[in-house]
Structure 1
Amino acid sequence: MLAETICSAASVAGLGIAALTAYRRRFLTATRIAAYALVPLGLVMTGVVAWATEVVFEPTVWAGFGVLGLAWLLFATTRVVERRSLGKAAKPPRPVKGAPAREAVAPAASEPSLGAAAAGGTRPAGRQKPAAAAGDDFSDIEAILKKHGI
């Protein structure tokens, strides 16, 4: 009840200032002051002020905010711990000096599937391309990249 009275008084005072400003023939400024003065009155009439005062002065609401903060803190802590543990597990072990170097399990796995055929391997009989077209495989991609300035 006290908050509604204060907001109503602020609106009346603002409208009085707007009237004095309009009396001095500064109508644009007076209209702007009147608009600001009507906001607290509108908030009282819609019930926002009553809701806000119930939220601010209710101890259960503050306990709820505390519980939400605690939940957020727990989520953040688990996220930090998870990232630290994943970061340690994802790093490969450092090589020991003097140990033989490891070779890849499948060294040709990263080659393009047509790499062996373009290098002189055999192709199926129905899918022969001319030898000059082997260098043109990526020409359309290069043209698109040049078009976009990459």
Structure 2
Amino acid sequence: MLAETICSAVSAAGLGIAAITAYRKRFLAATRIAAYSLVPVGLVMAGVVEWVSDIAFKPSVWLGFGLLALAWLLFMTTRAVERRRGSTRKDRKAARAAQRGDAVAPAASSPSLTSGAGTTGARAQGDPAKKPERAAAPGDDFSDIEAILKKHGI
């Protein structure tokens, strides 16, 4: 009852402001203010205000919202645990062994554009001005990328 009275008063005040605005020859603004002013009365007549007040003041509704929040919390907790477990124990043991042992990609320290025998070009003949030839296969260019992806488990 109180909410309906407040909405009616707000609408009446808004329509009064719209009338004053129209008197000042600002018809477009007056029409817009009148439209906004009619919204609260429309909500009262449609029953939306009563529905919202019923939701706000019933304990069973708040209990329902609490249960929804609990369900969401449980869902997010299981997702977080699932992400932490992400890999199996064998994968984790292999990752630890790789960290303790050799580097993930031992060949990653050498340039990926040359093969292991990069001295077969002009430098082997003693001419330092000429650059060595490229002797890498197209598939060798991606070995560094593959090593990085394997390191991250992708």
TM-score scaled to structure 2, two decimals? 0.59
Distance of 1:5 and 1:97 partners within structure 2: 77
Which residue type is aligned with residue 29 of structure 2? Answer: T
Deviation at 1:92, TM superposition (A): 6.3
Deviation at 1:91, TM superposition (A): 4.4
Does 1:38 pair with 2:38?
A: yes
Distance of 1:86 and 1:19 partners within structure 2: 66
Cα RMSD, aligned residues only: 1.8
Runs of 4+ in 1 over 6 A off after TM superposition: none
Cα-to-partner distance string for 1:52-93 (whole Å, 9 max, x where unaligned): 000011111111111110110001001111111123544460
TM-score scaled to structure 1, two decimals? 0.60
- For structure 2, the 5+ residue unaligned runs are 103-154
The verdict on how the C-alpha distance between 1:97 and 1:87 changes in structure 2, with shifts beyond 3 A counting, is closer
Which residue type is aligned with residue 61 of structure 1? Answer: V
Counting matched residue pairs gives 98
Flag the structure with more relative contact order, 1 or 2, with Cα contacts below 8 A and sequence separation at least 6. 1
Cα-to-partner distance string for 1:81-120 (whole Å, 9 max, x where unaligned): 111112354446024649xxxxxxxxxxxxxxxxxxxxxx
**1:58 — aligned with what?**
58
Q: How does 1:59-138 map to 2 (within 5 A)?
A: 59-87=59-87, 89=89, 90-91=91-92, 93=94, 94-95=97-98, 97=101
